[in-house]
Amino acid sequence: MKLIFFFFFFISAQYILGQNIFKAKITDTKSGEPLVGVNVYIQELHIGEASNSNGNVVIKNIPNGSYDIKFSYIGYNSYIVKINFPLINPDTTFNISLEQKAVEENVVEVTSTRTSNRVEDTPIRVEVLGLDEVKEETGIKPGNISKLLGETSGVQIQQTSATSGNVVFRIQGLPGRYTQLLEDGFPLYGGFSSGLSLLQIPPLDLQQVEVIEGSSSTLYGGGAIAGIVNLVTRVPEAKPEWSVLLNQTQKGESDISSFYTGRSNNIGVTFLASYSRQKAEDVNGDGFTDIPQFEQANFTPKLFYYINSSTTLMGGLSLSYDDRKGGDIFAINNAPDSLHSYINSNKSSRTISLLKFTKTFSSGGLLVFKNSISSFSHNISVNSIFFKGTQVSSFSELTYKLSSDNNNLVLGANFNTDKFTEDKIYNTVPLNYSYYTTSLFGLDNWDINKAFTIQSGLRIDYHNKYNSFILPNIAFLYRFTNNFFIRLGGGYGYTIPSAFTDLAEEQAYNNVYPIADYVKPEKSLGVNLDFNYNAVLSDEVNLSLDQSFYYTRVNNSLIPQADSLSLDKIFYINSSSPLESKGINTNIELSIDDFGIFIDYTYTNADYKYPSGIQHLLLTPINKLNTTFTYEVEDDWKTGVEAFYTGQQYLDNNTKSPAYWTIGVMIEKIFEHFSIVGNVENLFDVRQTKYESIVNPPYTNPTFKQLYAPIDGVVANIELKIKM
For the stretch 190-232, pLDDT in tens is: 888 887 778 888 899 999 999 998 888 888 999 899 999 999 9
Residue 241: pLDDT above 90?
A: yes
Q: 414 near 394, Cβ under 8 Å? A: no
- What is the band of 432 on the pLDDT scale with cuts at 50, 70, 90? very high
End-to-end alpha carbon distance in the chain: 77
pLDDT of residue 104: 42
pLDDT of residue 420: 95
pLDDT of residue 630: 94
Residue 155: pLDDT above 60?
A: yes
Residue 705: pLDDT above 70?
A: yes
Residue 666: pLDDT above 90?
A: yes
Would the CA dihedral through 285, 290, 294, 296 be positive or negative?
A: negative
pLDDT of residue 605: 95
Q: What is the pLDDT of residues 319-334, one digit of tens each?
A: 999 999 999 999 999 9
Least confident of 48-57, 261-270, 549-558: 48-57
Helix (H, G, I), strand (E, B) or coil at 47: strand
- What is the band of 426 on the pLDDT scale with cuts at 50, 70, 90? low
- What is the band of 427 on the pLDDT scale with cuts at 50, 70, 90? low
609/492: higher pLDDT: 492
E strands in 309-365: 311-327, 343-360
Least confident of 154-163, 233-242, 550-559, 674-683: 154-163
What average pLDDT score do residues 410-430 get?
87
Question: Which residue type does 538 have?
Answer: S
Nearest by Cα to 95 from 135, 55, 39: 55
What average pLDDT score do residues 18-34 get?
87
- What is the band of 575 on the pLDDT scale with cuts at 50, 70, 90? very high
Q: What angle do CA 357, 145, 674 make, to 5 degrees?
A: 90
Q: pTM of the entire structure?
A: 0.84
- What is the band of 32 on the pLDDT scale with cuts at 50, 70, 90? confident
Q: What is the pLDDT of residues 609-641, one digit of tens each?
A: 887 788 899 999 999 999 999 999 888 999 999
Least confident of 4-13, 78-87, 380-389: 4-13
Q: What angle do CA 233, 414, 458 make, to 5 degrees?
A: 100
pLDDT of residue 156: 86
Alpha-carbon distances of 405 from 110, 124, 226, 408, 617, rounded to whole Å = 18, 19, 32, 8, 46
**For 206, what's the count of Cα atoms within 13 Å in the CB-facing half-sphere?**
30
Q: What is the pLDDT of residues 355-405, one digit of tens each?
A: 999 999 888 889 999 999 999 999 999 988 889 999 999 999 999 999 887
pLDDT of residue 373: 97
What average pLDDT score do residues 632-656 get?
91
Residue 14: pLDDT above 70?
A: no
Distance (Å, whole) CA 444 – CA 456: 5
pLDDT of residue 120: 77
pLDDT of residue 163: 85
What average pLDDT score do residues 476-502 get?
93
**What does the mean pLDDT of the chain come to?**
89
pLDDT of residue 9: 40
Structural domains present in the chain: 16-98 (2.60.40.1120), 119-231 (2.170.130.10), 232-306+320-723 (2.40.170.20)
- What is the band of 428 on the pLDDT scale with cuts at 50, 70, 90? low
pLDDT of residue 113: 82
H or E stretch at 565: helix 562-566
- What is the band of 13 on the pLDDT scale with cuts at 50, 70, 90? very low
| Burial (CB count within 10 angstroms: exposed 0-12, middle 13-18, buried 19+), residue 133 | middle
Residue 1: pLDDT above 50?
A: no
